[in-house]
Chain A
Amino acid sequence: MKEELGAGRRKLEGELRNLVGNIFVPEVKVFGMACGCVGYAADLRGLQSDDVDVFKEKINAILSELSKSVGVEPEFIYARKLPGSEEVVTLTARELCERCKREFAGSKASPRPDIVVLKKRR
């Protein structure tokens, strides 16, 4: 998995730079939560929510590919903004537990105002 994570970080940074401009991806990681969710997350600097709106499909495709490369099914893909701002600080692809299917992905509205939902498997 070490190779996939390193290559994924480089690929995501490169693709975002091609799409948007100078974007920095300092870190990508695979995580497992106490509730049962697992996921793939990339920390970002330089990306704004407008960029995410414009390149939503392309970002979804990249995140899907990268999360699958480490065994995470990208059921729910979202961007997290710095609260109260338009700065996107994380892109996450998550395989949801039953609780989070209801609680986090169960509303028509975005679950929280700092979350921009990019893909939700119905």
Chain B
Amino acid sequence: MRLIIPHPGHFPALKEILAYKESEGIKDVAEVYMAGSPDVMGSGRATLHAALVDEIKEQTAYAHQHNVKLNIVMNPSCLGGYHLTLHGFKTFDWYFNELNKAGVDGVTVAEPYFVELLREHSMETVISCVAHVDSPQRAEFFEALGADAIAVDTNINRDFGILKAIKKAVHCDIRVLVNEGCLYKCPFRHAHFNLFSHITSSRASSSQNAQVQPPNTFGDYYFDKCISIRVRDPSQIIRSPWIRPEDLKAYEAIGIDEFKISGRANAVRWILNCMEVYHRRELKGNLLEVLDCPSELRYTFYLDNGLLDGCIDQWKNCKKICDDCRYCDELTSKVLKVIKK
């Protein structure tokens, strides 16, 4: 098993993550990942720290001292076409070159054009889940472009037929995100990634016009709707394609042993807990404690992880026609409770 750990980006957090890994004997930690500079491009998720190349270099060296790789995530789903301008090409090519010189082990991208650009560098090219690789065909496409590893679309986490077919179709490494708590087949997913791509990008990167500001939105419509939908219909929490720590072995059985923990915008202590839980492959208590989802949900609901033993056998062969099946609806009433305060 290889665990891939989120890193919020500030150096003290990396030191604490690696110190914890060593003090607790968590040998499965193979890689940490953090956002790149918002001055260069945005990101698919919230970016809380703007690390400069010198800092990335220092952090990479520190990670290497602890036998851990460092990956920089540059996975906006939309660049507004800037990457296909001469100015954009020069900017991104320069930045990838700087990351390479800094000793960074890999870069995670969603944009196919960046996969090709990265072929010129020795860094590992990882395809982000934002690229929505959900079929052997799409996996083959990205591998042919130059992918060394693919984090597959979380929507197929519980579709073992597709996962096996992807494993068979490509030679590159396949990763699954284990604790992303997003809605299954979320209708907001693409729009939300696009929004993040623009609001996490500082003014100069999203356009040739340095005066263009990120949009001053009045709120995060998708985030608020996402919480609201699940508060009204808690079965959506069960349908989310998370993977219990106890169920990692089902993925190893089909040849997937790279497990990426989601949540680089969370608190350091939360990350340490997730790292430990997935390393130990065991969680007693509320599964929502380790899911990367709005904290409101874990304050509201208790999802008894112990009662989910064996559910993977149903899910991995599920046809995902929920109206006919009703399995998750019935399960919800047994395993999910509203927390009384």
Contact = CB atoms under 8 A, between A and B. Distances in A.
Interface in B177-234: 200, 202
A83 B200 contact: yes
A61 interface: no
A-B CB proximity, top 7 nearest: A113-B49, A109-B12, A111-B267, A113-B10, A84-B50, A34-B299, A107-B268
B42 to A, nearest CB: 10
A112 B12 contact: no
A35 B49 contact: no
A106 interface: yes
A63 B294 CA distance: 28
Interface string B145-159: 000000000000000
Contacts of B300: 34
Nearest to B272: A107
A85 interface: yes
A111 B10 CA distance: 10
Contacts of A33: 299
B13 interface: yes
B125 to A, nearest CB: 24
Contacts of B266: 112
* Chain A: number of interface residues, binned into ranges: 10 to 19
A112 B265 contact: yes
B265 to A, nearest CB: 7
B10 A109 contact: yes
B45 to A, nearest CB: 11
A107 B48 contact: no
A108 interface: yes
A109 B269 CA distance: 9
Given A83-B200, A109-B16, A110-B10, A35 B47 contact: no
Contact of A109 (B47, B268, B295): B268
B296 interface: yes
A7 B180 CA distance: 44
Given A34-B296, A113-B10, A106 B269 contact: yes
B200 A84 contact: yes
Contact of A103 (B12, B38, B265, B269): B269
20 contacts: A33-B299, A35-B299, A83-B46, A83-B200, A84-B47, A84-B48, A84-B50, A84-B200, A84-B202, A103-B270, A107-B16, A109-B12, A109-B268, A110-B12, A110-B13, A111-B269, A112-B8, A112-B48, A112-B266, A114-B48
